[in-house]
């Protein structure tokens, strides 16, 4: 099942993709189909409620699929079924408690950065939730640091239940599904990171580099979260980044140095991961102003 959040007041509408590619607006459906009133009001709330809540969303979608074409037309007239194109979208989970970005985790990326060794353990930094924006929305170029805006297309997994200090064996049981993000960075000062000397110079330079990832709209996400039952192997996915239709990045998730169970187990030693939290095994960077993301499997 593919879940999303429609950017509509008061705080977004939960949506699910229908087989024909249109969006089922579950908030409006609840005014027509009484059973849909039991659907939680956000994707994160659905994840927090567990498998039964996801199954109930699937039942509502299946009920619409069983309707006649005329009945679905009437739902479309009410706005409960919407075309995908032109529907404004928020991030699939607009309100995660944590966005954790695992860096230096693609083998080919390290090969691009000559002399960068493989890390002895997973590494990560946090991105602010206020950087999130919906798929298809503009990335705002900050006037205070406008000259070097980079993209990084990212494969992203979403946590489905509270996860703390779990084993690699159990780790995948905490995953709800997958989405894609663009880790945008302002790098006007990136040269200073590599030119820094001494013990603290590189540390301070890296801290400033991370600040360049915290700007508004610098984490476009979505358009959908795909539930994990639809992905046979998350380490066998193709990730493609396009700029104005031109392929700029193309790689597979089998290039991950640390696989998802290792990432989840390692970071859960320190963080308490909650439903709706993101973890992104970071890919690579290029220098552009904005990028469209596509993922296929």
**294 pLDDT above the threshold of 80:** no
Distance CA(293)–CA(86), nearest Å, equals 17
* CATH code given to domain 99-296: 3.90.850.10
Q: Count Cβ atoms below 10 Å from residue 169 Cβ, excluding itself.
A: 9
Q: 294 near 240, Cβ under 8 Å?
A: yes
Q: Is 77 helix (H, G, I), strand (E, B) or coil?
A: helix
| Top mean-pLDDT range of 107-116, 192-201, 234-243 | 234-243
Determine the pLDDT at residue 46: 97
Weakest mean pLDDT among 13-22, 173-182, 190-199: 190-199
The predicted-structure confidence for 230-239, as pLDDT tens digits, reads as follows 999 999 999 9
Q: Is 279 helix (H, G, I), strand (E, B) or coil?
A: strand
pTM: 0.90
Q: Which residue has the tokens 């924006």?
A: 133
pLDDT band, very low/low/confident/very high, at 242 (cuts 50, 70, 90) = confident
Q: Which residue has the tokens 């024909």?
A: 20
pLDDT band, very low/low/confident/very high, at 289 (cuts 50, 70, 90) = very low
Q: 131 near 216, Cβ under 8 Å?
A: yes
**163 pLDDT above the threshold of 80:** yes
**135 pLDDT above the threshold of 90:** yes
The predicted-structure confidence for 34-76, as pLDDT tens digits, reads as follows 889 999 999 999 999 999 999 999 999 999 999 999 999 999 9
**154 pLDDT above the threshold of 80:** yes
Q: In the chain, which residues fall in CATH 3.90.850.10?
A: 99-296
pLDDT band, very low/low/confident/very high, at 281 (cuts 50, 70, 90) = confident
Q: Count Cβ atoms below 10 Å from residue 24 Cβ, excluding itself.
A: 24
């Amino acid at each position: 099942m593919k879940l999303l959040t429609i950017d509509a007041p008061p705080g977004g509408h939960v949506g699910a993709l229908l087989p024909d590619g249109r969006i089922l607006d579950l908030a409006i459906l609840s005014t027509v189909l009484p059973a849909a009133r039991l659907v939680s009001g956000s994707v994160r709330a659905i994840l927090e409620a567990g498998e039964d809540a996801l199954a109930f969303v699937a039942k509502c979608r299946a009920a619409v699929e069983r309707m006649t074409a005329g009945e679905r037309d009437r739902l479309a007239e009410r706005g409960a079924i919407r075309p995908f194109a032109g529907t404004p979208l928020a991030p699939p989970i607009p309100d995660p408690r944590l966005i954790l970005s695992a860096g230096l985790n693609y083998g080919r990326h390290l090969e691009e950065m000559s002399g960068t060794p493989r890390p002895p353990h997973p590494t990560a930094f946090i991105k602010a939730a206020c950087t999130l924006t919906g798929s298809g929305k503009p990335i705002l170029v900050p006037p205070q640091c406008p000259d070097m805006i980079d993209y990084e297309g990212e494969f992203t997994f979403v946590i489905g239940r509270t996860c703390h200090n779990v084993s690699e064996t159990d780790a995948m049981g905490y995953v709800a599904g997958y989405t894609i993000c663009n880790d945008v960075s302002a790098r006007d000062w990136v040269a200073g990171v590599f030119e820094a000397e001494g013990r603290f110079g590189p540390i301070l330079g890296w801290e400033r580099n991370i600040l360049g990832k915290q700007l508004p709209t610098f984490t476009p996400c979505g358009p959908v979260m795909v539930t994990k039952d639809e992905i046979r192997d998350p380490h066998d996915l193709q990730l493609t980044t396009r700029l104005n239709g031109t392929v700029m990045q193309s790689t597979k998730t089998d290039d991950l140095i640390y696989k998802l169970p290792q990432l989840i187990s390692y970071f859960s030693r320190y963080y308490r991961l909650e439903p709706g939290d993101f973890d992104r095994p970071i890919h690579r960077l290029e220098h552009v102003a904005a990028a469209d993301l596509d993922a296929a499997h």
